[in-house]
Amino acid sequence: MDEIILLKLGELVLKGLNRRTFEDRLIANARRRLQAHGKFKVYTKQSTMYVEPQDDSCDLDGAWEAMRRLFGVVGLSRARACAKDADIMLATAIEYLGDRLSAARTFKVESRRADKTFPMTSIQLSQYVGGELDEKYPNLKVDVRHPELTVYLEVRDYAAYVHADPEPGAGGLPVGVGGRAVSLLSGGIDSPVASWMIAKRGIALDMVHFFSYPYTSEEAKQKVLDLAKILTPWCGRLTVHVVPFTAIQEELRRRCPEELFTVLMRRFMMRIAEKVAQRCGAGALVTGESLGQVASQTLDAMRATTAVTSLPILRPVVGMDKEEIIRVARRIGTFETSILPYEDCCTVFTPRHPRLHPMPGELEAAEAALDVDGLVAAAVDGIERVRV
Ligand code: ATP
Ligand code: MG
């Protein structure tokens, strides 16, 4: 109970007018993520969010891990609460930050005083505690410009807090402040990374997965649900809309030129995703497309898929190399699941010679052989929604 978490708010402090909205959203997101770890008090003051356990049953380590994944936070530290007395703050710093004080070569003390009745000024407090620490630790030298370690002392209304330098937070903006998008989640490496990147910019997500049973297995579907689950610490709880896609693929194979199969299939994905977006109030689609990676990721193919929806298609990894995408995938923990060897719906039906540069007219001609609206409506009707 005498340890709390301090979070430094990110870009939202720059947003002037919207600041309240941003903070409210961040607090709501934090509260939801903390529920599993006990009862916490959460509030903001002066660009800092405070997370305070309310009883001894709280799991502060769990809360810390959750807060490290909270978008909208640029830095976070654990702080020890103590009485508002200079000597007690000094003793607390020695006890709480002893290891770091022994390891560092240079340091400084920085104080903030919200409680103006405290008898010392911030500068006096820093000088006093800094001087004492300097004397106690022969390894330490004061360096106010580039200290290895900064000891922060905060005198607030109810208590004082002692903490060291924050560690980097997840960055970005609180999920939800930027509205909602529908993300097309395959079982691959790229789409979980793309989803994460868009969520990071403050967008709440609904996931769509196209499922080609029995060409793809239950395990392949489970893998996608697992990927969505791995994203929830960042994105919040997610709904995965699992779309039955087999009938469309079989119809395409039956009636359309094989070399156009991939891009025609992707046009159906966009149409269906747009319907899902309408239903859940989303204003954009997200894909994990990266230029030049595969046949459907040429400019011409992208134009062909973009043409069937009026929604913007966000492609956050479009300019990234596979290696760069993999680096993010590893960092966010999706990589190991993404490389599990289950087939996905695209690999099953991959044409031998896919057309790299489909012409718009050619695709519409091929689709004339199909009941496009009927196929889309049937697929949408068959959607299974899974909450993860
Ligand atoms: P990923 O690694 O994300 O699977 P990819 O490199 O395999 O991408 P494609 O198979 O061409 O590339 O898919 C491009 C994008 O289309 C994916 O990133 C994803 O957003 C979407 N997509 C592909 N297959 C599916 C699917 N079965 N369900 C939902 N979205 C899909
Ligand atoms: Mg894929």
CB of 209 closer than 6 angstroms to any ligand 1 atom? yes
On the 0-12 / 13-18 / 19+ scale of CB atoms within 10 A, 135 is: exposed
343-372 average pLDDT score:
80
Angle at 269 between CA 266 and CA 271, to 5 degrees: 115
CB of 190 closer than 6 angstroms to any ligand 1 atom? yes
Show the tokens assigned to 280: 């859940």
Residue 177, pLDDT > 80, answer yes
On the 0-12 / 13-18 / 19+ scale of CB atoms within 10 A, 386 is: middle
**Nearest CA owner, ligand 1 atom 20:** 287
CB-based contacts of 145: which residues, under 8 Å, 6+ apart? none
- The model's pLDDT over 15-63, given as tens digits with 9 standing for 90+, comes to 555 788 889 999 999 999 999 999 999 999 878 899 999 998 999 999 9
Handedness of CA 350, 241, 189, 308 (dihedral sign): positive
Q: Are 182 and 199 in contact (CB under 8 A)?
A: no
Q: What is the pLDDT of residue 353?
A: 81
Residue 86, pLDDT > 80, answer yes
pTM: 0.91
The rounded Å distance from CA 163 to ligand 2 centre is 45
Kind and range of the H or E run holding 314: strand 313-314
Q: Are 142 and 108 in contact (CB under 8 A)?
A: yes
The rounded Å distance from CA 373 to ligand 1 centre is 22
CB of 195 closer than 6 angstroms to any ligand 1 atom? no
Angle at 60 between CA 56 and CA 62, to 5 degrees: 130
DSSP code, position 147: -
3-class secondary structure, 254: helix
The rounded Å distance from CA 261 to ligand 1 centre is 15
- The model's pLDDT over 312-322, given as tens digits with 9 standing for 90+, comes to 999 999 999 99
Instruction: Of 298, 221, 234, 230, give the one whose Cα is nearest residue 266.
Output: 298
Residue 325, pLDDT > 70, answer yes
Q: Which residues of 56-71 are buried (b: 16+ CB within 10 A; e: fewer)?
A: eebebeebbebbbbbb
| pLDDT tier, 215 (very low <50, low <70, confident <90, very high otherwise) | confident
Mutate to test the pocket of ligand 1, among 186, 198, 322 (most ligand atoms within 8 A of CB): 186
Report which ligand 1 atom has the smallest distance to the Cα of 192: 3
Report which ligand 1 atom has the smallest distance to the Cα of 224: 28
CB of 293 closer than 6 angstroms to any ligand 1 atom? yes
CB of 80 closer than 6 angstroms to any ligand 1 atom? no
- Going by their DSSP bridges, the two strands 384-387 and 73-82 should be labelled as unpaired
CA distance 298 to 263: 10
CB of 191 closer than 6 angstroms to any ligand 1 atom? yes
Q: What is the pLDDT of residue 188?
A: 94
Residue 280, pLDDT > 80, answer yes
Ligand approaching nearest to the C-alpha of 289? 1
Ligand approaching nearest to the C-alpha of 346? 1
Instruction: Of 61, 29, 73, 382, give the one whose Cα is nearest residue 237.
Output: 29
Residue 162, pLDDT > 80, answer yes
- Across the chain, mean pLDDT equals 92
DSSP code, position 186: -
Q: Which amino acid is at 28?
A: A
Residue 350 pairs in a beta bridge with: none
Kind and range of the H or E run holding 312: none
The rounded Å distance from CA 205 to ligand 1 centre is 16
Phi-psi map region of 355: left, alpha, beta (phi>0 left; psi -120 to 50 alpha): beta
CB of 349 closer than 6 angstroms to any ligand 1 atom? no
Share of the chain above pLDDT 70, in %: 95
Domains defined for the chain, CATH in brackets: 3-170 (3.30.2130.30), 180-387 (3.40.50.620)
Comparing 339 with 357, the larger pLDDT belongs to 339
Q: Are 50 and 40 in contact (CB under 8 A)?
A: no
